[in-house]
Structure 1
Amino acid sequence: MKLAMKYIILYVNDFEKTMHFYKDILGLTVKMQQGTYVEFDTGSTTLSINTRQSAKEEIGLDVPDSSSSTQTFEVGFVVEDVPAAIDKLRSQGISIIKEPVTKPWGQTVAYIADPDGHYIEICTSIE
């Protein structure tokens, strides 16, 4: 079996706030929207959001009512200049969880979170 990552769906509490964050703050382009389900164009893998309530009602998934206080994954976005991206996000009122650092393998990484607390890594490419 060969698997290919096609999309990631984040279940969110406040659709409007989260939509503003990904579309207006991060600048992602909407590929498709059907009600509270939205797909953003991020390259080869699509990032999607949907409300927790919709996932329960329409899909039948047992999604908790609020995000967990401990995160078990992160979403990563590659940029050319991490410090510049973090400065831009900071100027837009986004809290920076971890300031940019260069890892021993040469990658620069920093962290923010979306309105539901999902970790977002802003990083340079590893090549």
Structure 2
Amino acid sequence: MTITISSSFLPHTEPEASLAFYRDVLGFEIRLDVGQGEYRWLTVGPAGQPDTAIVLTPPAVQPGLTDEEKQTILDIMAKGSFFGVNLTSTDLDATFADLEAKGADVIQEPTDQPWGARDCAIRDPAGNMIRIAQAG
């Protein structure tokens, strides 16, 4: 039996800003763009990896949430501590330089971590943490 990851989900707060970030900064393909306004779902993924995707979803649209609960989710997102994704790069330093030149919101420059990885961190327009590690 083989299990693979097909998609993960991250919230977005501004669809156009998210599209621009994932397409123009990370170089991902836009695969689906459905819905409109507050209820717009975007699917993006790395070129050449059609079986792997990130679905960017509207935050706090689950039925039954109170306005207070929705606001709590938005507040946590703004701090960059609600969701995140880990990526890898074959050349972390070159990737970081490219992301920085494109105006990515840098949280951590490439760093050798105590657990052995070398990685950096940026945030997408919704505040989601994106960690990028040097591929093995």
With normalisation by structure 2, the TM-score equals 0.74
Q: CA deviation at 1:70?
A: 5.6
The aligned counterpart of 1:86 is 96
Aligned length: 121
Matched, 1:46 2:50: no
Q: What is the SS of the residue equivalent to 2:54?
A: strand
Matched, 1:28 2:35: no
Show CA shifts across 1:93-121 (max 9, x none).
11311110123454210000011111000
The aligned counterpart of 2:123 is 113
Unmatched segments (≥5 aa) in structure 1: none
Q: What is the SS of the residue equivalent to 1:116?
A: coil
* Paired residue type of 2:21: F
With normalisation by structure 1, the TM-score equals 0.78
8 A contact 2:80–2:123 mirrored in 1: no
Write the distance in 2 (CA, Å) between the matches of 1:61 and 1:28.
33
RMSD: 2.5
Q: CA deviation at 1:39?
A: 1.2
Write the distance in 2 (CA, Å) between the matches of 1:28 and 1:93.
16
Write the distance in 2 (CA, Å) between the matches of 1:7 and 1:105.
27
The aligned counterpart of 2:41 is 37
